[in-house]
């Protein structure tokens, strides 16, 4: 497939992203589509809405699990570069299927300056298409695929960073294009 063909393919409503030879994820959101207004509830039970970020670009990042090595590395990279992200007009919100109590512990332990949505019923991960079958050490289970959506000031998805693209140690730099 040519590079232009790949770019066109990525803009499709359903994007199949192979994560290995046997499985993949289906991204349900399209570049150029409007993100949903109600995103969910944060670690304090407060409803997070897209309109809360009007006038800012939003980094909506989905991650598998609180307090695991890769997810902690990614969150701490975003924390360490939060001032630069804010300076460039970004707000940051993390999403996982962990509950509010787990998110509070994660935020407190690592001094995270941004909210984490507790998607315990998997509504948002399914709406964005980042929930699916995974495999670790031969065990199959369902979980969240590490994926980041960049949403512009008008609430439109402008970029989708897929699991194979994300480098947890450099995630903020990837977002900022550095």
**79 pLDDT exceeds 70?**
yes
Percent of the chain at pLDDT > 90 equals 77
Active centre residues (catalytic) = 71
- The helix-helix angle for 69-80 and 100-110 (nearest 10°) equals 60
The predicted pLDDT at position 19 comes to 40
Structure confidence by residue, pLDDT tens digits, 85-105: 999 999 999 999 999 999 999
Instruction: Spell out the domains of the chain, with CATH numbers in brackets.
Output: 3-176 (3.40.30.10)
The answer to whether residues 20 and 6 touch, using CB atoms and an 8 Å cutoff, is no
Q: What is the pLDDT of residue 26?
A: 66
Per the CB < 8 A criterion, the answer to whether 141 and 122 are in contact is no
Strand residue runs (E) in the chain: 15-18, 24-27, 38-41, 47-49, 57-62, 90-96, 116-118, 131-136, 139-144, 147-151, 157-161
């Amino acid at each position: 497939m040519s590079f232009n063909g790949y770019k066109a393919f990525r803009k499709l409503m359903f994007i199949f992203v192979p994560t290995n030879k046997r499985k993949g994820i289906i991204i349900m959101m399209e570049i150029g589509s409007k993100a949903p207004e109600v995103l969910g509830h944060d670690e304090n039970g407060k409803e997070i809405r897209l309109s809360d970020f009007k006038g800012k670009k939003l980094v909506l990042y989905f991650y598998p699990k609180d307090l695991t090595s890769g997810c902690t590395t990614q969150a701490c990279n975003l924390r360490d570069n939060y001032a630069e992200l804010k300076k460039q007009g970004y707000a940051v919100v993390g999403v996982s299927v962990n509950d509010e109590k787990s998110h509070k512990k994660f935020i407190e332990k690592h001094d995270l300056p941004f909210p984490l949505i507790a998607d315990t019923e998997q509504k948002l991960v399914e709406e964005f298409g980042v929930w699916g079958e995974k495999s670790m050490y031969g065990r199959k289970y369902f979980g969240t695929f590490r994926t980041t959506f960049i949403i512009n000031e008008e609430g439109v998805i402008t970029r989708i960073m897929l699991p194979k693209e994300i480098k947890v140690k450099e995630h903020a730099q990837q977002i900022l294009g550095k």
